[in-house]
């Protein structure tokens, strides 16, 4: 059985690495994309923030149906504003603030809240905890994209730096 605390704790680590990737990316290059048909680094990181804030905001508000034509509009009311244009520091701080908010609000919910059923945007019925796990996995996927963009710029992601620091003789 998956525990809420485990989901939130592991997500905190994932989010820290996402925010660190934004901090590590060269300033002024958030519009970098390796090929014209893919999203830019800043777009991907902003998508992580918006999707998380939107979906978790709906969960916390008690919404249980994530389908239908008004779904994306309902999400927007939970997304946090950023300056236009935003900087690496603006985005990484918003990512950190978002996680602090998640920890605070979901950590205060009773177990029954997480057992409640919701209908995901693909029509699948899942518990709120399973929906949280899904949102976390969504971020993990996009964090991998951010890491690839870092590598293309010759930057070693924080996860690899930590692993290398633990090796003997380093």
CB neighbour list of residue 165: distance below 8 Å, 6 or more residues apart: none
pLDDT confidence of residue 53: 98
Integer angstrom CA distances of residue 148 from 83, 153, 154: 26, 9, 10
Domain with 66 in it: what CATH number?
1.20.120.450
pLDDT confidence of residue 105: 97
pLDDT confidence of residue 169: 72
User: What range defines the domain where residue 74 resides?
Assistant: 4-166
pLDDT confidence of residue 71: 87
The whole model's pTM is what?
0.93
> What is the C-alpha to C-alpha distance for residues 17 and 162, in angstroms, rounded to an integer?
11
Which stretches of 108-157 are DSSP H helices? 111-115, 128-152
Running along the chain, 170 residues long, what does each successive block of 10 average in pLDDT? Answer: 90 97 97 97 98 97 92 93 96 98 95 96 96 97 98 94 83
CB neighbour list of residue 72: distance below 8 Å, 6 or more residues apart: none
Q: How many domains does the chain divide into?
A: 1
CB neighbour list of residue 60: distance below 8 Å, 6 or more residues apart: 105, 106
Two tokens, residue 24 = 């590590």
pLDDT confidence of residue 170: 60
């Amino acid at each position: 059985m998956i525990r809420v605390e485990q989901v939130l704790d592991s997500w905190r680590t994932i989010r820290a690495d996402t925010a660190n990737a934004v901090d590590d990316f060269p300033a002024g290059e958030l519009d970098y994309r390796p090929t014209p048909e893919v999203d830019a680094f800043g777009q991907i990181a902003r998508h992580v923030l918006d999707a998380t804030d939107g979906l978790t905001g709906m969960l916390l508000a008690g919404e249980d149906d994530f389908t239908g034509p008004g779904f994306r509009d309902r999400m927007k009311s939970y997304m946090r504003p950023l300056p236009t244009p935003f900087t690496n520091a603006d985005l990484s701080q918003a990512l950190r603030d978002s996680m602090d908010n998640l920890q605070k609000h979901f950590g205060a919910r009773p177990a029954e809240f997480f057992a409640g059923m919701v209908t995901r945007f693909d029509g699948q019925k899942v518990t709120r905890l399973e929906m949280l796990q899904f949102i976390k996995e969504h971020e993990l996927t996009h964090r991998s994209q951010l890491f690839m963009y870092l590598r293309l710029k010759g930057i070693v992601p924080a996860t690899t730096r930590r692993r290398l620091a633990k090796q003997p003789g380093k």
